[in-house]
Chains A and B, each alone.
Chain A
Amino acid sequence: MDWMAWTWPTAIFFMVIGALLVTMTIIAALRPETPRVGILRIETTRGDRLFISLLGSAFISLAWLGMFGPPLWGALIACLIYAAAVFRFV
């Protein structure tokens, strides 16, 4: 864990993102999809929606931290709801 100053929380964070990417790749290979147009009026694929979810979640967490401070469990719940909404409607 000394290499690159790793700690478990950051390692888990990257493992989750890595796992998400691998899962999306497998899903894309098994069930190919066509892009769709959602409420943002732009064509999105599953990968695009994952990107929008992750980027938006980062900003939700930062906003939570700025307004209420840690812990971020509330922000995590908000991020999950946001991600679900992105995958459903965007």
Chain B
Amino acid sequence: MDKTVNQKAWFLVLPVLVLVAFSAVIPLMTVVNYSFQDTFGQNVFFWAGFEWFEQVLASERIRDALGRQILFSAIILAIEVPLGILVALCMPRKGIWVSVCLVLMALPLLIPWNVVGTIWQVFARVDIGLLGRTLSELGIDYNYTQDALDAWITIIVMDVWHWTSLVALLAYAGLVSIPSAYYQAAKIDQASRWKVFRYIELPKMQGVLLIAILLRFMDSFMIYTEPFVLTGGGPGNATTFLSIDLVKTAIGQFDLGPAAAFSLIYFLVILLISWVFYTVMVNLDKKEGV
């Protein structure tokens, strides 16, 4: 039987296209336009060529911020993913505690980012904060506003506190979906707990874990609000990540051209990494589907 060709459904996609055009494509085009021009305000622009791109590529300040950003993402992924899996493995699979656990795990995810920053800012203060005060009472020299290492540790702990639940919930969803037959087979074979994890649970969680890693990577690579509220990028420039640096350039110094060039390069890096993750994910699904 011949298939009827009917392309009218494409019209239903039209509103989305218009929305995306106005919310993403056109602003991005404007950024491209700005990145090649210089302005002194009054909506008057001068052609600057590749000057801003050269400046951004040669900028030590941005290179340092990129280094910090990569280090930050690597650290939080290295902590949150294993920790999230561990938490998911410890969560009950049935009974009344399931919903209690799920709600408790979801709580940090529901808090707005600037509130998370404020909570930790107060919590870690040496004079009135519970954490800061306790640490200093114990004789530990801790002050996140003056010491770079302390600031880093505080931001990392804050991020782990905020986002490990996401990894845990995703991993838990992966774990729950494993049919019990697999566990029964493992029991018959007298597989150890480690082998059950290595050969049954981990492969079955692969898909959701990739999504978790992608989401955490993207979010941590674009992190702004929490470190901004907590440390404001300090002490010095110790916790100035890419987005904080970008906002300083664009809004603080009102250098639209360099900021536009900077954000385009930032965007390209994120696009590349997301594409790699996406491709790996889709190909894994296909392999599993075979």
Q: Are B283 and A5 in contact (CB under 8 A)?
A: no
Q: Are B34 and A5 in contact (CB under 8 A)?
A: yes
- Say yes or no for B183: interface residue by CB 8 A criterion: no
Question: Interface size bucket, A side?
Answer: 20 to 34
- State A7–B47 Cα separation when bound (angstroms): 8
> Which partner residue on chain B sits nearest A37 by CB separation?
B283
> Which partner residue on chain A sits nearest B267 by CB separation?
A58
- State A9–B29 Cα separation when bound (angstroms): 12
Q: Are B36 and A9 in contact (CB under 8 A)?
A: yes
Q: Are A69 and B271 in contact (CB under 8 A)?
A: no
Q: Are B34 and A55 in contact (CB under 8 A)?
A: no
Tell me if A's interface is mostly helix, strand, loop or mixed. helix
Q: How many A-B residue pairs have CB under 8 A?
A: 55
- State A62–B43 Cα separation when bound (angstroms): 28
- State A40–B32 Cα separation when bound (angstroms): 30
Q: Which of A4, A55, A70 contacts B49 (CB 8 A)?
A: A70
Contact with A along B269-290 (1 / 0, CB 8 A): 0011001000100010010000
- State A43–B286 Cα separation when bound (angstroms): 10
Q: Are A55 and B272 in contact (CB under 8 A)?
A: yes
**Which residues of A have CB within 8 Å of B283?**
42-43
Contact with B along A1-16 (1 / 0, CB 8 A): 0101111011001100
- Say yes or no for A24: interface residue by CB 8 A criterion: no
- Say yes or no for B37: interface residue by CB 8 A criterion: yes
Task: Select the residue from B37, B50, B54, B268 with max chain A CB neighbours within 10 A.
Answer: B50
Q: Are B53 and A55 in contact (CB under 8 A)?
A: no
**Which residues of B have CB within 8 Å of A2?**
43
Known: A59-B272, A62-B57, A72-B50. A4 touches B33 (CB 8 A): yes
- Say yes or no for A81: interface residue by CB 8 A criterion: no
Residues of B within 8 A of A (CB): 26, 29-30, 32-34, 36-37, 39, 43, 45, 47, 49-50, 53-54, 57-58, 265, 268, 271-272, 275, 279, 283, 286
